[in-house]
C-alpha cells in the first residue's frame, strides 16, 4: 500500500500558493514547507548541493520515471553588472512546478545556490564558471547518488538550467529525455549579442558534440523572449539527432510558463513523439 505521505496536503490551498508565487513573495524555504518538500544538503564531486524532492518521490519504485529540475542563473549579477553576493533566485520559477509535478521529481540546486555555506564558493563560480566542468561534474555526482540506476530520467531546465541539463545528459546513462524552457544553448552567441563578459570558464552546448540519439530532446522557446532569442534555440535543435523545437506563445523569458507546464509535465506530452503537441 502506498504511504499516505504521497498524498499529504499542503498547509495552504493551491490558489493561495499560486497567488503568492506570482507575486514573487514566497522564499524557497517557505515554499518548501508549504508544499511539504523534503530537502537535503549533499556533497557532489567538489561542491555542496541543496536538493528538494516532492511528495510523489516518496512512493517511487526502482522503475519509476524521475523528473529532475534545474533552475536558471537566478541572481548571478546585480543590475549594475557586478557579481551578486548570493546567486539564489529570489523567486524560483521551477521549484513550484517541481512541487506540483505528478511524477517523482527532484530539484537539483546548483553549486553555491540556496545557502549551502560551501567554502568552495566564490563569485566566479556563479559568473564566469557558471557552466564549468567542475559544476557539471559535481551535479552529475549528486544525481548518481540519488537516482536508481534502473530509473529512466527526464532532465528539465530553464534558461541556464537548460544549459546544464544538456551538458549533464550524456553523463548519466538513465537520461533518455531533456526538456529545456528558454534554454541558453549557445552561450557564446548569448554573451556576444548582449555584450556580456565572455564566460571563458564555462562549457557551451553549441560547441559540444550532439547528444546521442538515445536521448530525445524538447526545446521550448518563449516567443517574446529578449534574453534568449528563439532562433538560437531553433538553430541548436537543428544540429541534434532527436530534437524538437517548440515556440510557446504568450511567454517571455521568465513569465507565462506555468499554464503551459500543466501540459508539458504530463506524460506522454514530453516524449519526443508528442513534444510538438504542446502548442496545439
Can you tell me the mean pLDDT for 118-139?
A: 97
CA 204/CA 115 separation, integer angstroms: 26
- Residue 61 phi, psi dihedral angles, 5° rounding: -105, 170
Cell representation of residue 244 = 524538437
Which residues make Cβ contacts (< 8 Å) with residue 107, sequence separation at least 6?
A: 37, 51, 52, 53, 68, 69, 70, 71, 94, 95, 98
| DSSP 3-state of 177 | strand
The owner of cell 511567454 is 251
Can you tell me the mean pLDDT for 143-167?
A: 97
**Edge-to-edge strands, sheet with 153-158:** 38-43, 48-53, 105-108, 66-70, 153-158, 175-181, 216-222, 243-248
Averaged pLDDT score across all residues of the chain: 87
The owner of cell 514530453 is 270
Indicate the pTM of the whole model.
0.88
CA 84/CA 227 separation, integer angstroms: 19
Which residues make Cβ contacts (< 8 Å) with residue 191, sequence separation at least 6?
A: 197, 198, 199
pLDDT given at position 266: 62
Nearest CA among 171, 268, 278, 168 for reference residue 223? 278
Q: Select, from the ranges 7-11, 135-139, 256-260, the one with the highest average predicted confidence (pLDDT).
A: 135-139
Q: What is the pLDDT of residues 39-52, one digit of tens each?
A: 999 999 999 999 99
In Å, how far are 126, 163, 180, 204, 236 from 208, measured between CA atoms? 21, 11, 17, 7, 11
Can you tell me the mean pLDDT for 2-11?
A: 39
Which residues make Cβ contacts (< 8 Å) with residue 162, sequence separation at least 6?
A: 70, 72, 180, 181, 182, 183, 184, 185, 219
Query: Spelled out in words, what is the top-level CATH class assigned to the domain 4-279?
Result: alpha beta
Bigger pLDDT: 195 or 266?
195
Can you tell me the mean pLDDT for 175-194?
A: 97
Give the pLDDT band of residue 7 (cuts 50, 70, 90): very low
Could you tell me which residues are beta bridge partners of residue 220? Answer: 181, 246
Pairing status of strand 48-53 against strand 38-43? antiparallel
Q: What is the pLDDT of residues 202-214, one digit of tens each?
A: 999 999 999 999 9
Handedness of CA 198, 133, 28, 15 (dihedral sign): positive
Q: What is the pLDDT of residues 99-122, one digit of tens each?
A: 989 899 999 999 999 999 999 999
- Residue 141 phi, psi dihedral angles, 5° rounding: -60, -40
Predicted confidence (pLDDT) at residue 195 exceeds the cutoff of 90? yes
Amino acid at each position: 500500500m502506498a504511504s499516505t505521505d504521497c498524498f499529504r496536503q499542503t498547509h495552504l490551498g493551491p490558489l493561495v500558493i499560486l497567488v503568492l508565487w506570482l507575486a514573487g513573495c514566497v522564499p524557497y524555504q517557505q515554499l518548501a514547507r508549504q508544499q511539504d518538500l523534503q530537502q537535503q544538503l549533499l556533497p557532489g564531486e567538489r561542491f555542496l548541493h541543496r536538493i528538494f524532492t516532492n511528495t510523489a518521490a516518496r512512493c517511487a519504485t526502482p522503475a519509476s520515471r524521475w523528473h529532475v529540475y534545474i533552475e536558471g542563473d537566478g541572481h548571478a549579477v546585480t543590475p549594475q553588472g557586478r557579481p551578486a553576493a548570493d546567486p539564489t533566485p529570489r523567486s524560483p520559477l521551477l521549484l513550484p512546478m517541481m512541487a506540483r509535478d505528478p511524477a517523482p521529481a527532484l530539484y537539483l540546486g546548483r553549486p553555491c545556490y540556496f545557502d549551502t555555506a560551501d567554502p568552495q564558493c566564490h563569485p566566479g563560480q556563479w559568473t564566469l564558471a557558471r557552466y564549468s566542468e567542475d559544476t557539471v561534474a559535481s551535479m552529475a555526482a549528486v544525481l548518481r547518488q540519488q537516482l536508481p540506476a534502473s530509473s529512466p530520467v527526464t532532465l528539465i531546465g530553464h534558461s541556464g538550467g537548460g544549459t546544464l541539463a544538456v551538458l549533464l545528459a550524456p553523463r548519466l546513462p538513465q537520461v533518455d529525455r531533456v526538456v529545456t524552457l528558454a534554454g541558453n544553448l549557445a552561450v557564446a552567441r548569448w554573451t556576444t549579442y548582449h555584450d556580456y563578459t565572455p564566460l571563458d570558464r564555462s562549457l557551451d552546448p553549441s560547441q559540444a558534440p550532439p547528444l546521442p540519439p538515445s536521448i530525445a530532446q524538447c526545446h521550448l522557446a518563449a516567443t517574446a523572449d529578449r534574453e534568449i532569442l528563439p532562433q538560437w534555440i531553433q538553430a541548436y535543435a537543428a544540429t541534434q539527432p532527436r530534437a524538437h523545437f517548440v515556440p510557446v506563445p504568450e511567454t517571455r523569458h521568465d513569465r507565462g510558463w506555468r499554464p503551459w507546464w500543466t501540459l508539458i509535465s504530463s506524460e506522454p506530452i514530453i516524449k519526443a513523439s508528442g513534444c510538438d503537441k504542446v502548442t496545439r
